[in-house]
Structure 1
C-alpha cells in the first residue's frame, strides 16, 4: 500500500487534540494519548503496511502513551511491537520493568499486556507492529524481553537497517509474493531477536533447567506430563509446579505451547509439505487432529491448514 502521512498541521487548532488521539489509536493500538500539559498539539505519523506487518513513524512533542488493562481486555489488536528511537529519550515500562531508550536504541513491547511510554522532550520513533499469530513465541519468551535495553550487537544490529529499508519499500509497487516474503523475513528476524535475548534472562535454578530440557526432548511423547517430568528430575510434582509458577508459567501450558511451536515450524517447511497435518501433529505429541486444530487456532489465530497454505 502507498505511504500515508497524517499531520496535525492540516487540522484547525481547536480540533487537533481529538484528531491526534484518534490518529495514534487508529495507526497503532488503542492507547491513552496525553500530550504534555500546556504544550501545543503537534504531531505527524507516516504509515504503511507489508502483508499485515505495519510500519509506522511517529514524531511529536512531550507525551505519555499508556496502554491500560481495560484497553487490552476490550481490544482485538495483538501485535509484537519493536520501536527504534530516532530522537529524544523515552522511559518505557512493561511487565514490571522499566528502561530508557535514546537515539539508536531498540525496545520490544507486547500489545496484549499493559505498557507505557513517557518522554519529556520531542521524540521520533520507527515502529514495527507484527501480528503475534505469525510468531511461534511463547508468553514466557515475550515477557522475558519486553522493556529491556537491546544493544546494537548481534541480531539487534540487523533491525534498524531493515526498518529503514522497509520504509522505502512499502510505498513501492511490490509484487504480492515479494510482500509476503518480506513479512515472513520480518517475523523470522523478530523471533531471532527475542530468542537471542531470552538466555540472558533465564533462570539459574538447575531443577527448572533440567525440567525444561527433559520437556523439550520428549515433546513427541503424548503421555508427557508433570509426573513424568518430575520423576525424570528426581523432584516431587508439587515442587515442579512451584518452580514453574514462580516464573508465571505452568508445566502443562509450557508443554502445550512448545508442541504448538514445533508444529508451527514444521507446517511452514516446504520439504515437509507432503506430510499430512495429522502426521505433523502426532510427531509433536498431539495425536488427536481435532484437538490439535482447535489448540492451534486458539494459539495462532488461524487453522493449521491456512497456516501451511500461507507458507508453502
Structure 2
C-alpha cells in the first residue's frame, strides 16, 4: 500500500500486496501518482513494480522501476484526467518504445516529453528504471510557450542540449527533491531553461551567445559573488537586480553550459575557502564560517567543500594539504 514517510517521499510497492493483486495495484498507483492509464504485461504472475514520488515546487519528481509491461492511454483515460500536464520521461537502464504523436524507439538516457491531452502506448521489454517529471501546463508554458514543438520528439542523450537536459533531469529524483540544499525554484527554473534550449535545438533554432550575452553572464556572476551569502537567494532576486526576467537569466546561463545553482554554489565555496584560509577568521568556528558563506547546515557545508577540493573545512583550516577519500555524493544511491 501507500507508504508516506516524514521525508516527504510517497512510496508505492507491489511487494506490499498479495501476488494476485499486484497488477491492479500498480495500475491504480499510476492513476494516483501520474495520470489515468491501463496496463498490460506478459509477466502478470511475477509482476513487481516500485514507485516513489516527491513534490519539487509545482513539479512532481517520480522514480519508477520494475517488470516489463506496456501502459496505454486512450480516450476513456484522457476523459478521466483532472487537468492537463506534461511528462518528461527518461529510462536510465534499458531501451523502450513510445507511440505518442509519432513512434519513437528510445535508448537508455534519451528523454521525451508527453502531453496528457493525447493518448499513448509505452512499452518496456525488459526491467526498467525511469525518472519521470510531471510538469504542470502553466509552468511549462513559461519556458516553452508552444510545447507541441517538442512533444513526442525523441531528445537523444547524445545531442548537445539533449545531453544537458537528460543529465540534469536524471538527478531530480524524489530523494534529491527532499534533500537538496537549494530552493526548489532554483532547481525547477534551471530545468525550464534546459527544456527551452532543447526545444530550440530540436526545431533548428539554437541561439548562439554574442558579446551582450557574455556581458550578461559576467554581470550575473558578479551579483552572485556579492549576494551569495544570503541563505534564500533565488534566481528571481538576481534577475530583479539585473533588470531581466528569470527566464532570460536561465536561458543566458544555459547558453554557456552553466546553471544558476552551480554558479551560486561556486560563489559560496569561494567565500568559504577565503575565510578558512585567512588568519583573520581563526576566531570563528567552522560552522560559523559555513553560515557566513551561505551554508546554514554544517554537514552539508563540509560535504560540499570536500567534494570541491578533496579536503574537509577542518583540514583546510589546519593547513593539511592531503586529500582524503571522496565523500559519498548526495543521492548517490540513485
1:272: Cα distance to partner?
7.1
8 Å Cα contact 1:94-1:147 kept in structure 2: yes
**8 Å CA contact 1:65, 1:117 repeated in 2:** yes
TM-score normalised to the size of structure 2?
Answer: 0.54
| Alignment partners' CA distance in 2, 1:172 and 1:164 | 15
- Alpha-carbon contact 1:29-1:77 (below 8 Å) kept: no
Cα distance change of structure 1 residues 141 and 124 upon mapping to structure 2, 3 Å threshold: same
Instruction: State the partner residue of 1:125.
Output: 130
**Structure-2 change in CA distance of 1:86 and 1:173 (3 Å):** closer
Aligned to 1:46: 52
CA distance in 2, matches of 1:130, 1:117: 18
Match of 2:74 among 65, 68, 73: 68
Report the CA distance shift for 1:144/1:127 in structure 2 as closer, same or farther (over 3 A).
same
Separation in 1, partners of 2:200, 2:32: 30
2:65 maps to 59
Aligned residue in 2 for 1:18: 24
Match of 1:103 among 103, 108, 112: 108
Per the alignment, in what secondary structure is the counterpart of residue 136 of structure 1? helix
Tell me by how many angstroms 1:53 deviates: 0.9
| Alignment-derived partner of residue 201 in structure 2 | 196
* Number of residue equivalences: 203
Pick aligned residue for 2:150 from 131, 145, 152? 145
The within-5 A match list for 1:72-221 is 72-95=78-101, 97-136=102-141, 141-151=146-156, 152-167=158-173, 168-172=175-179, 174=181, 178-199=183-204
Instruction: Flag the 1:114–1:139 CA change in 2: closer, same or farther, 3 A.
Output: farther
User: How big is the shift at 1:29?
Assistant: 0.9
Stretches (4+) displaced over 3 A: 137-141, 269-273
For the Cα contact (< 8 Å) 2:71–2:122, is it kept in 1? Answer: yes
Paired residues of 2:67 and 2:127 also in contact (CA < 8 A) = yes
Q: Normalising to structure 1: TM-score of the pair?
A: 0.58
On the 8 A contact 2:40/2:71 being kept in 1, the answer is: yes
